[in-house]
């Protein structure tokens, strides 16, 4: 008998159809993966089970949990189910906890609400649960506030809240998407253990096929609110009968074609970073002792040659982005020198930096946040043109923007649109167009594809590869995703706690990692091939 059974579930919000005839079942102790790209209706399916849908949403069909008709249940019956029999973990651990309440209060609150336990009893149970999720009392007393914890630790607290009353079903909506790969592996392990300890059903929602394959017994693939394929994980993914399943699998393992590989040492370096450090004033521990500075970047040296693609990989907080900011002359190093085309860029005035800025552009992670929503594309893409020696005339400027848009696969008509008229992938194309309009020699890309769906990500990676091959643009790719590093770079640098701990040709380093930090990254990185092979083996 299934624990959760969804039959013919359809959902409309206002007049927009969100889900159509979705079917899904979970048995006790079973892990079911729900895979799909953004907007496919994964989260809405989860919120329907919890009955936490937005006001205007109307669901039809049948959702049965443990014999209860969820869609027909009264609100007080749902309150009794939520947090007791059904727990839920969300994507964004940084914002999922109430900032003004201690973690103890937040874990104990659900326990007290459902069991009517006294404060002391509830706190004791909360304590045990926090111990269980890997937050021991000595380091994480109940009196801690969320802002005193890191992202991974906060996600553990969220899991403790969801699992405190040993629910029969846990819904985890992209529980590790905001975390780096090492933390992701730890959190997935924890979820797996909790499932087997309590014979809990787990609905794991993710856009990452590799993660779902590693975790789930069965999977359901969703696209625009409809189930494309559902079945046993190993056979579904090895057979890839449905074209969309194949498309997703191919996209998530996509390697763009880069026939011209770069030979290291073939040219004078374009960018040289020499012994660069960046220290921040630390927090004062005592009134009488000076604060110990925190070294975000510690004595880093690297070079990028023309047309070379270098990946800088590392866990979150390792100093990658701080280093990138200094290379872009947005931040000053406390020690060391950064040279671009042989000229020092540290400590120069903005006017003196103009030529360097022209030849060194940037692409950021978030294609939504990096555009002014009130300006047209023509103005946004033309922005770096003020760095040119001679300002182009209006007609010439339009010509240049049209050309840049063409190079990233957009049309000249897109010039008069506003950013909100584009999809996430198209916006990332816009930011690439903006970066290449001045014909730069180097583009620094800070997690340029990590906010994108797999199919879009494959297209954007192709675009990056093409521009590198055609225009000879050198890249510094900053990423925590080893698949991206492998797909895009000639050389890789592994950063750990502010230091470069390993460097070399990408394939060599990733296939034979020598340093501990690299080994941890490689071991934790989800890999679809490996995951399918393991699944097949387990099932014989």
Partner 1 sequence: MTAYLAKRLIIAAVTLVLASMVVFAVMEILPGDPARLMLGFNASADQVELLRNQMGLNAPLVLRYLHWAGGLLSLDFGRSYTYSVPVVDLVRERVVVSLPLALIALALSTVIAIPVGVFSAGRQGRAGDTLAMGAAQLGVAVPNFWFALMLIYLFAVWLRLVPAGGFPGWNAGVWPALKSLLLPAVALALPQAAILARVARSALIEVLNEDYIRTARAKGLPYSAVLWRHALRNAMIPVLTILGLQFAFLLAGTIIIENVFYLPGLGRLVFQAITQRDLIVVESVVMLLVAAVIAVNLLVDFSYAVVDPRLRGRQ
Which listed residue (31, 35, 88, 494) binds partner 1 by CB under 8 A?
Answer: 88
Q: Which is nearer to partner 1, 95 or 261 (CB)?
A: 95
- Of residues 48-67, those binding partner 1 (CB under 8 A): 50, 52
Give the containing element (helix H, strand E) for 535. helix 528-539
List 230's β-bridge partners, or say none.
220
Strand, helix or coil for residue 58: strand
Which listed residue (97, 405, 410, 492) binds partner 1 by CB under 8 A?
Answer: 97
- Tell me how many residues contact partner 1 (CB under 8 A): 35
> Which residue bears the tokens 């049209």?
402
Q: Which is nearer to partner 1, 111 or 324 (CB)?
A: 111
Q: CA-to-CA distance for 176 and 241, rounded, in angstroms? A: 28
The verdict on 385 binding partner 1 (CB under 8 A) reads no
Nearest residue to 222 (alpha-carbon basis) of 270, 173, 175, 188: 173
Q: Which is nearer to partner 1, 147 or 260 (CB)?
A: 147
Q: Which is nearer to partner 1, 149 or 500 (CB)?
A: 149
Count Cβ atoms below 10 Å from residue 326 Cβ, excluding itself: 24
Tell me how far, at minimum, the Cβ of 191 lies from partner 1, in Å: 16
Which listed residue (74, 283, 390, 394) binds partner 1 by CB under 8 A?
Answer: 283
The verdict on 113 binding partner 1 (CB under 8 A) reads yes
The DSSP bridge pattern shows strands 68-69 and 335-340 to be: unpaired
Q: Residue 367: which residues within 8 A CB-CB, separation 6 or more?
A: 424, 425, 427, 428, 430, 431, 451, 452
For 181, list phi and psi in degrees, rounded to 5.
-60, -35
Tell me how far, at minimum, the Cβ of 168 lies from partner 1, in Å: 14
Nearest residue to 353 (alpha-carbon basis) of 327, 372, 379: 327
Nearest residue to 503 (alpha-carbon basis) of 259, 254, 302: 302
What DSSP letter does each residue of 273-340 carry, written as one string?
Answer: EEEEEEEE----SSSSSPPPPEEEEEEEEEEE-TT-EEEEE--TTSSHHHHHHHHTTSS--SEEEEEE
Stretch touching partner 1 by CB under 8 A, among 30-38, 107-115, 239-247, 397-405 = 107-115
Q: Which is nearer to partner 1, 81 or 377 (CB)?
A: 81
The verdict on 253 binding partner 1 (CB under 8 A) reads no
**Stretch 128-147: interaction string toward partner 1, x if CB under 8 A:** -----------------x-x
Asked whether 12 and 57 are in contact (CB, 8 A), the reply is yes
Q: Which is nearer to partner 1, 97 or 500 (CB)?
A: 97
Structure token pair of residue 55: 């006001």
Tell me how far, at minimum, the Cβ of 106 lies from partner 1, in Å: 8
The verdict on 123 binding partner 1 (CB under 8 A) reads no
The verdict on 79 binding partner 1 (CB under 8 A) reads yes
The verdict on 110 binding partner 1 (CB under 8 A) reads yes
The verdict on 526 binding partner 1 (CB under 8 A) reads no
The verdict on 114 binding partner 1 (CB under 8 A) reads yes
Stretch touching partner 1 by CB under 8 A, among 87-95, 238-246, 361-369, 528-536 = 87-95
Q: What is the dihedral of CA 147, 284, 314, 261, to 10 degrees?
A: 130
Count Cβ atoms below 10 Å from residue 472 Cβ, excluding itself: 13
Q: Which is nearer to partner 1, 162 or 524 (CB)?
A: 162
Which listed residue (11, 19, 96, 183) binds partner 1 by CB under 8 A?
Answer: 96
Q: CA-to-CA distance for 178 and 182, rounded, in angstroms? A: 12
- Of residues 150-209, those binding partner 1 (CB under 8 A): 158, 161-162
Name the packing angle between helices 394-407 and 424-436 (round to 10°). 130
Which listed residue (39, 71, 73, 109) binds partner 1 by CB under 8 A?
Answer: 109
Q: Which is nearer to partner 1, 15 or 74 (CB)?
A: 74
Q: Residue 92: which residues within 8 A CB-CB, separation 6 or more?
A: 178
Tell me how far, at minimum, the Cβ of 343 lies from partner 1, in Å: 42
Q: CA-to-CA distance for 498 and 292, rounded, in angstroms? A: 16
The verdict on 82 binding partner 1 (CB under 8 A) reads yes
Q: Which is nearer to partner 1, 52 or 523 (CB)?
A: 52
Kindly report the length of the chain. Answer: 540
Which listed residue (87, 175, 225, 526) binds partner 1 by CB under 8 A?
Answer: 87
In the complex, the residues that contact partner 1 under the rule CB under 8 A are 50, 52, 75-76, 79-84, 87-88, 90, 92, 95-102, 106, 109-110, 113-114, 145, 147-148, 158, 161-162, 283-284
């Amino acid at each position: 008998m299934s624990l959760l059974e969804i039959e013919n579930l359809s959902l409309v919000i206002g007049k927009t159809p969100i889900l159509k005839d979705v079917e899904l079942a979970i048995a006790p102790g079973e892990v079911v993966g729900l895979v799909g790209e953004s907007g496919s209706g994964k989260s809405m399916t989860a919120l329907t089970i919890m009955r936490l849908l937005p006001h205007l949403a109307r669901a039809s069909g049948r959702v049965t949990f443990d014999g209860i008709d969820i869609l027909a249940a009264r609100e007080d019956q749902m309150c009794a189910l939520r947090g007791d029999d059904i727990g839920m973990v969300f994507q964004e651990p940084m914002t999922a906890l109430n900032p003004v309440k201690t973690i103890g209060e937040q874990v104990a609150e659900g326990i007290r609400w459902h069991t009517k336990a006294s404060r002391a009893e509830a706190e004791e149970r909360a304590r045990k649960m926090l111990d269980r999720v890997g937050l021991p009392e000595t380091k994480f007393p109940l009196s801690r506030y969320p802002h005193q914890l890191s992202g991974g630790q906060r996600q553990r607290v969220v899991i403790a809240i969801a699992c405190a009353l040993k629910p029969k079903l846990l819904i985890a909506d992209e529980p590790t998407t905001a975390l780096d790969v090492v933390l992701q592996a730890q959190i997935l392990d924890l979820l797996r253990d909790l499932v087997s300890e309590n014979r809990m059903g787990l609905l794991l929602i993710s856009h990452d096929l590799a993660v779902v394959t590693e975790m789930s017994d069965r999977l359901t693939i969703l696209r625009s609110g409809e189930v494309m394929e559902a079945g046993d994980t190993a056979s579904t993914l090895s057979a890839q009968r449905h074209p969309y399943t194949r498309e997703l699998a191919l996209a998530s393992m996509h390697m763009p074609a880069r026939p011209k590989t770069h030979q290291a040492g073939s040219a004078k370096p374009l960018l040289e970073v020499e012994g660069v450090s960046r220290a921040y004033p630390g927090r004062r521990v005592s009134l009488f002792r000076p604060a110990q500075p925190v070294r975000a970047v510690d004595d880093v040296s690297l070079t990028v040659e023309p047309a070379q693609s270098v990946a800088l990989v590392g866990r979150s907080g390792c100093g990658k982005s701080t280093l990138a900011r200094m290379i872009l002359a947005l931040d000053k190093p406390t020690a060391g020198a950064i040279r671009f085309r042989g000229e020092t860029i540290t400590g120069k005035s903005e006017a003196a930096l103009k030529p360097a800025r022209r030849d060194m552009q940037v692409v950021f992670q978030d294609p939504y946040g990096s555009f002014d929503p009130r300006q047209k594309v023509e103005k946004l893409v033309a922005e770096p043109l003020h760095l040119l020696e001679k300002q182009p005339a209006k007609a010439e400027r339009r010509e240049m923007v049209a050309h840049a848009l063409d190079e990233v696969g957009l049309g000249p008509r897109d010039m008069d649109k506003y950013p909100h008229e584009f999809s996430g992938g198209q916006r990332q194309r816009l930011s690439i167009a903006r970066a290449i309009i001045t014909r730069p020699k180097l583009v620094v890309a800070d997690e340029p594809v990590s906010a994108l769906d797999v199919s879009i990500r494959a297209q954007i990676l192709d675009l990056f590869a093409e521009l590198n091959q055609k225009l000879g643009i050198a890249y510094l790719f900053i990423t925590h995703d080893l698949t991206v590093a492998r797909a895009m770079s000639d050389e890789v640098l592994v950063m750990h706690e502010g230091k470069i701990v390993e460097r070399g040709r990408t394939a060599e380093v990733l296939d034979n990692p020598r340093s501990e930090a690299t080994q941890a990254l490689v071991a934790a990185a989800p890999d679809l091939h490996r995951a399918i092979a393991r699944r097949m083996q387990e099932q014989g």
